[in-house]
A and B are shown apart, each in its own frame.
Chain A
Amino acid sequence: MVPRACTEKLAAALGIARRVEWLEGLGHYTAMAALPEVLDRMVGFFAEDLPPGLRIQPPPPAARTPVQVVLSLVKEATDLLLSEPSPGRCHLADVTVTLNLDRDKGYEGRLLLIRGWQGRFKLQCKLPVVGEVALGQGSYPWMVSAKKTVFKGMKGAPPTPGDPLAFVDPEHLLRIRMIAGAAAGAALAPDVLEPLVAVAEEPAADGRRTIRLTLKGRNRGTLTLALQSDARTPSMLTFEFPGARGKIAFRGWQRNTPAHEAAFDPPPGLPAQEVEAGALVRMFSAMFNFAMENAE
């Protein structure tokens, strides 16, 4: 490793001090989180010198390799949390989950996540014990109780929606960025996945492209991904690990699709109580931190 001070001294001696870009807050390993951005910049740099006729268009979805398809979906999943869509647009994931654990009773749930612009979002899910949960942020943060009362965070709310994850542990977001970075890196060099997972095309079921992932090493298990007819949108993911098996059915999966402001509002017609916006945002962050802690 080259200490920063040495790099700066060398850059100054070469006369390129202003052109050195630092990945602030990242380290030797966590720099992976910035990989997508770094790759984009590097590709853009070299592409500047190419004549227009030589520029390579991305392959059509059906022509992409199984690894490319899988990594692209990993990137899209991380984008739900990391990348903000353009104004008036949203990322959307609507899934039903069925999970069967060997030593526990089965679990079925549904999750709808709409990620909008400037902090707008809506999350609806059905969880064991708690039941139906709905929360979000349009022009203000809100949360719906199981008794169908809407807590509207209108007290002390800023004029424009703030960051709903303002109190999230930055380490958690960094981890998600690292996954996105690793997926981007692996897309360029799929061989790095070889020791970890075998990715293979399966015979198409119902005309849908199907990809099978077999994990190697300590965490053995299989995942089977069925795509929709466009060969890029997920349709169903079934998985089987020691002690657990289940499936995720994708009811909706869209990126940067048009969205109306009302998509981020609480359900209409329910009794409402105005509460402190700050307390709601702290609750959102606490829930996110807890979910990430348990996902580790």
Chain B
Amino acid sequence: MRTLGKTTVLLLASLLVLTFLPGLAAGQQDLRIVARDPAGHGLLCRLGGKTILLVAGTPDQMGAAHGTLLKEKVRQLHERVLYLVGGADSIQSGVWFPDRMAEIERRTVPHIPPRLLAECDALSRAVGVSPREGRQANLFPERFHCSGVAVRGKATRDGSVLHARVLDYMRDINLQNAAAVVVFLPEGRNTWMSLGYAGFVGTVTAMNEKGLAIGEMGGGGVGDWDGMPMSFLLRDVMERAATVEEGLEILRTTPRTCEYYYVLSDKAKNMAGVHADARQITILRPGQQKPPLPFVPEDTVLISGPGRAEALSQRLQQHYGKIDVSTMIEILKRPVAMSSNLHDAIFAPETLDMWFADAGKHTPACDEPYAHCNLAALVRFYEQATSPKTARH
């Protein structure tokens, strides 16, 4: 009876929390299948207004399913990143963008695992673009100016880990039109999900089935391209690591490219901030002070740019001990997020939940309603939908 009572209270509490969390009206139950990969390796779904893509199998199979199910979105994204941004970059810099991308491709390809290149090329074939275009769209040099924060223990309302990332990047060119949560179920590797974009096989915002979450922030160092591209490196972490320490080991031992910052967290409540470039890597532990970052409270890790980091630190202190998902959504709002805020994600690595928002046509992501999904539930949905016994049409 005692156990039953506890469970009932927990259920009621969960229902209460779910009722009042933004965006949760569009729950897992609203997930509906829009299209199936004819080869049987992917599902395209809608969750409220969001696109969810699930792909499974070998690199070739996953790439082909991705390209088949999101063909038009991938084309749109290629146009934006290679030709619109490419044209503007050529005008501004005086360097022909396709030449710059060809150099990045030549220098990074030796460091990219063959499985990722195979997936990228299969995706290109399915979309009907050249492998060069597909690869270069994935090697698009990210110059993000973002924020990342992870909190746990004394900082949060219930002691659990919450990991948030703010992606501030080119909302104005409408990349959000190609936004998708992509769930990868690769053969022989960790299942994971990326808050990403049609056609991207790498990631900058992700969590895996082991309860490891990661988000990236860009720095400088343009030109250091003799290493694994950042977005592929993070994918490798997602597919091979189960804990923050395993993720850090991959980051340490892999040849890296330009300067990036990362925040990692896992379900064992371990968290770390990372500053890495091609030559060095610095690990920041929870509560560790590191100028020029502002005060970092105990049980928190934070990384952000000047001005925004101070606002983030102040808000963390203001809500310290009471932080939950709703509070975190408020913490991430401007000026922590920039006006270019393309997407935001809040991970709960212990439960595999993700709350996320994409930019609107004229609004930063932080001002848009959040949606919610759960990696374990998405995987169960995929398995049921593709199982010959339980497949729903």
Contact = CB atoms under 8 A, between A and B. Distances in A.
A146 B79 contact: no
B174 A293 contact: yes
Interface string B75-91: 00001101110111011
A143 B92 CA distance: 11
B94 interface: yes
Contacts of A282: 79, 82-83
Given A145-B90, A151-B90, A283 B84 contact: yes
B96 A147 contact: no
Contacts of A151: 90, 96
Q: Is the interface of A mostly helix, strand, loop or mixed?
A: mixed
Interface stretch (A74-82, A108-116, A252-260, A284-292): A284-292
B109 interface: no
Interface in B238-252: none
A279 B86 CA distance: 10
Contacts of A145: 90-94
B84 A286 contact: yes
B90 A290 contact: no
A149 interface: yes
Q: Is the interface of B mostly helix, strand, loop or mixed?
A: helix
A167 interface: yes
B91 A290 contact: no
Q: How large is the interface on A (under 10, 10 to 19, 20 to 34, 35 or more residues)?
A: 20 to 34
Contacts of A285: 79, 83
A282 B92 CA distance: 18
B305 interface: no
Most buried by B among A146, A282, A289, A293: A282
B173 interface: yes
A286 B80 contact: yes
Most buried by B among A131, A148, A289: A289
B96 A289 contact: no
Contacts of B174: 290, 293
Contact of A286 (B83, B94, B96, B99): B83
Contacts of B91: 130, 133, 143-146
13 contacts: A143-B90, A145-B93, A151-B90, A273-B96, A275-B98, A275-B99, A279-B83, A282-B82, A283-B83, A283-B90, A286-B79, A289-B79, A290-B174
Which 9 A/B pairs are nearest by Cβ-Cβ distance?
Answer: A147-B94, A283-B87, A286-B83, A286-B84, A145-B94, A282-B83, A149-B94, A283-B83, A286-B79
Interface of B: 79-80, 82-84, 86-88, 90-94, 96, 98-99, 173-174
